[in-house]
Every structure is written in C-alpha cells, then in structure tokens.
Chain A
Amino acid sequence: MHTVKSHLPPPGEQQIARIRKHTSSPMRAGDWASGARAVLPAVVAFAPLALMVGASVGTSDNPLAAWLSTWTIHGGAAQLITLDVAQQSGWLAAATAGLLVQVRLSAYSTAMVADWRSAPLGLRLLAGVVLSDAPWALAQSRSTGRRGFYLGAGLALFLAWPAMVTVGTAGGDVVGEVAAAALVPALVIGCTVATQLRQRPVLVAATAAGLSAIVTATASAGVALVSAAVVGIVAGIVAEGTRGRDREAASS
C-alpha cells in the first residue's frame, strides 16, 4: 500500500507563511487612525481600572515615583500589585510580584517579531514602548496594515492611560463600587481574543489556559498567568501535532 504525502505544509508552517505575508505591507495614515479608533472601547473599558490605579498611586508612600512608573510599567494590574505589596512588605517581594504579572509582555513582544523584523530600529522601539494587552490583541485581527494599526492603537492607549491614572490620583476611585465596571476590561479583552479562536491550535491553547486559570484560581496572578502560558504552549503544540496527523491520514 502506498502512502501519499500531503502537498499542504504543516499547520505551523502555514501560520508562519501567513505572518510573513503581512510583514512587508507599508504603513499608511489610515491604518494609524483605524487603530486609534479601534482601541477607544478599550480606553473606556480600562477607565475604572485606571482610576483604581490612580487612587493607589495617590495614597502610596511616594506618589511621584508611583505616578512616574505609570509610563514604564504601563500595565494596571502590575502597578496595582506592586504598590499594594510594597505597602505591606519589602521592595523585593513587590518587584517580584509585579514582574511575574509583566512577564506576559515578552510573549506579546516575541509574537510581534515576524511583523516588525524589517522595520527600522526606532519604530521597533516605539512599538515596544507602547505595547500592552489591548493593542496587541486588536492587531492580531488585522490581515493588512498591521504595523500602522498597532501603533495607532498603542499610542492612543499610551497617552490615554496615564491621563486617566492622573485623574484617579486627584479624584480617587469613584467607580470602584460599581461591580459591573470590574467586568468591562475582561469583556473587551475576551471579545477581542474570541475573534482569534477559529484556528484550532489557538482555540485549544486558550481553552487549556482557561482551565489552568480555574485550577490556579487561588494562586497569585503572576504564578497563574505564567502557568497558563506554559499550558497554552504545550496544548497548542499537541493540537498542531494532532491536526497534522489528521491531515496526513486524510490525504493518504
């Protein structure tokens, strides 16, 4: 019996080919504007969190240092955890907790490399400085003009976030009592991710990570997110291998 090999490349290679196809598209002003518009719901969604961070900044032992870190940390959860732990224990524990939450940024940044490899160093630095959850997730849904779209979204959030934190520093956490407000960032991020789940390995990775989050619900945020990333990678590899075998079997 002869085995006929599939002429289709394995799924991972298809994904790499798809990534390469988008890499060389030039940046247009329209892409920047589209990105800035697309991130507006996220800006509104993150307003309650920003006010909460601002309130925490205002009551910290060193409000100026805490406020300045809004630009460098550029992540609400990490900044909140760092300030909270720093109030209760030493700087090392606070830094460790904050860094564990931020490790996920290296996954986003690494995932962006294929799109940005051919960009000038200045643009790559700008892309890294404005990197956060929402712009990265939004840009994944773009098939063309991804660089300009990402920079538009990233810059809009990079300007809006510190402004909202500053308002929170002065005005306090005025929406913290509204329970529904706490769900809005998760809804916006989740809905952005949901559009990406049509690829089976990504769906499997996200599902496995969700289950991992349930198992690690009582662990710290940093530990839970690092665990989810590892589980997601392994699940994605397994799903890709299974799909590759299915395709080979179907074509033989």
Chain B
Amino acid sequence: MNVVLAVAVVGAGSLMFRLLPLVGATLIPDWLTVHAARAAMAVLAAMVVRTVLSHRDDGLAGTLVTAPLLAALAVGLGLWLAYRGRSVLVASGVGLATYVVLAAGFAALP
C-alpha cells in the first residue's frame, strides 16, 4: 500500500508541476519565465555537481576521493569542449573516454 500511495502522490504532483504553468500560461508574466529559466539552469548545474561528488568506482583505490576527482576532471573537460562549441555527442564522448582512461591508469598504479 505504501508504494501505491507514494507513486500516486508523486505522479500526480509531477503532472501538476509540469502542466499547471503551461495551462495557466496567460497568467504568467515574462519576467517570471526569465527567472524560472535561470532557476532551471541552476538546478541542472547542481545535478551535474552532485553526480560528480557522489561518484564511486570500486575499481579505484582510495575511491572516496579519487573517483570524484577523476569524474570532475572528465566532466570538466566535456563541459569545456561543449562550451567551446563542440557537439554534445563529441563533448560527452571525450569526457567519458577521459574518465575510462584515467580510471584505468589509476587502477593500474601499484
């Protein structure tokens, strides 16, 4: 019963969050949409930072520090490439490849 109630409430709430501003679009002033866009960008940036900070890799020694550090380097490189105009696919691919190479290198250290 716990699961049914929980997912019903979160599902209904999620739909409300997504639909209400669009249904009442004529009531929302433009300045509010500008601030909402910045809030949304801020949330996405925070999600990326949280993912990097909480990254764990069992294949690495000293994983509590090493894995987030390598993740930060790899994601940082990907973001920099995207900022410089590379496509999302290329920037993400380079970032991922960087992590794989760095992690393999650190794992091979004695």
Q: Which A residues lie at the B interface, using CB under 8 A?
A: 12, 15-16, 19-20, 38, 41, 45, 60-62, 65-66, 68-69, 71-75, 78-79, 82-83, 85-87, 90-91, 94-95, 98-99, 102-114, 116-117, 121, 124-125, 127-129, 131, 133, 136-137, 140, 177, 179-180, 182-197, 201-202, 205-210, 212-214, 217, 221, 224-225, 228-233, 235-237
Minimum CB–CB distance for A92 against chain B, Å? 8
Interface residues of B in 15-72 (CB under 8 A from A): 15, 17-23, 25-26, 28, 30-59, 67, 71
| Contact pick for B32, options A110, A177, A208, CB 8 Å | A110
Please indicate the chain B residues that have their CB under 8 angstroms from the CB of A197 in the complex.
83
Q: Which B residues lie at the A interface, using CB under 8 A?
A: 1-15, 17-23, 25-26, 28, 30-59, 67, 71, 74-75, 78-83, 85, 88-89, 91-92, 95-96, 99-100, 103
Q: In the bound complex, what is the Cα–Cα distance between A106 and B79 (angstroms)?
A: 26
Among residues of B, the one whose C-beta sits closest to the C-beta of A69 is: B7
Minimum CB–CB distance for B42 against chain A, Å? 2
Q: Do A82 and B6 contact each other (CB < 8 Å), given the known contacts A114-B33, A179-B55?
A: yes
Q: In the bound complex, what is the Cα–Cα distance between A108 and B103 (angstroms)?
A: 35
Please indicate the chain A residues that have their CB under 8 angstroms from the CB of B20 in the complex.
106, 109
Q: In the bound complex, what is the Cα–Cα distance between A55 and B47 (angstroms)?
A: 22
Please indicate the chain B residues that have their CB under 8 angstroms from the CB of A131 in the complex.
18
Q: In the bound complex, what is the Cα–Cα distance between A206 and B40 (angstroms)?
A: 9
* Interchain CB contact under 8 A, B37 and A189: no
* Interchain CB contact under 8 A, B39 and A182: no
* Interchain CB contact under 8 A, A15 and B34: yes
Minimum CB–CB distance for A55 against chain B, Å? 15
* Interchain CB contact under 8 A, B34 and A16: yes
Q: In the bound complex, what is the Cα–Cα distance between A186 and B57 (angstroms)?
A: 16
Q: In the bound complex, what is the Cα–Cα distance between A99 and B45 (angstroms)?
A: 19
| Contact pick for A65, options B4, B44, B51, B55, CB 8 Å | B4
* Interchain CB contact under 8 A, B5 and A95: yes
* Interchain CB contact under 8 A, A125 and B23: yes
